[in-house]
Amino acid sequence: MNFQRDHFVNNTCMVFRDRMLAYLILMVSLILFFNCIFDRTAIPELFRSESINSKIKNDGTNCPFGNPLATDPKRYGKIHIIHREGYTLGHSSKYRMAIWVCEEILSEELLGKATRRNHFKPEPLLSKGERAELSDYKNSGYDRGHLAAADNYRSDQRLNDESFYLSNVVPQDHSFNAGIWKKLEEQIRSWVKRYNRVIVITVPVYIDDKNQFPRFIEKNNDLTVPNHFFKILVRDENGSTLLLAFLAKHKKATNISLESFLTTVDLAEEHTQLNFLPNIPDVDESLEATVGVYWP
Q: What is the pLDDT of residue 37?
A: 36
Q: What is the pLDDT of residue 254?
A: 84
Stretches in the chain below the pLDDT threshold 50: 1-9, 28, 31, 33-58, 212-214, 216
Q: What is the pLDDT of residue 277?
A: 96
Q: What is the pLDDT of residue 269?
A: 95
228 noted as active-site residue = no
In contact, 287 and 232? CB cutoff 8 Å: no
275 annotated as a binding-site residue: no
Q: What is the pLDDT of residue 285?
A: 86
Burial class (CB in 10 A: 0-12, 13-18, 19+), 193: middle
Beta strands in 40-188 (DSSP E): 51-53, 69-70, 79-83, 88-92, 97-106, 143-146, 169-172
Q: Phi, psi (5° rounding) for residue 107?
A: -60, -35
Q: What is the pLDDT of residue 223?
A: 78
Given 80, 83, 91, 146, which residue is catalytic? 146
pTM of the model: 0.79
Instruction: Domain 44-289: give its CATH code.
Output: 3.40.570.10
d(CA 185, CA 174) in angstroms, rounded, equals 15
Q: What is the pLDDT of residue 264?
A: 97
Q: What is the pLDDT of residue 219?
A: 54
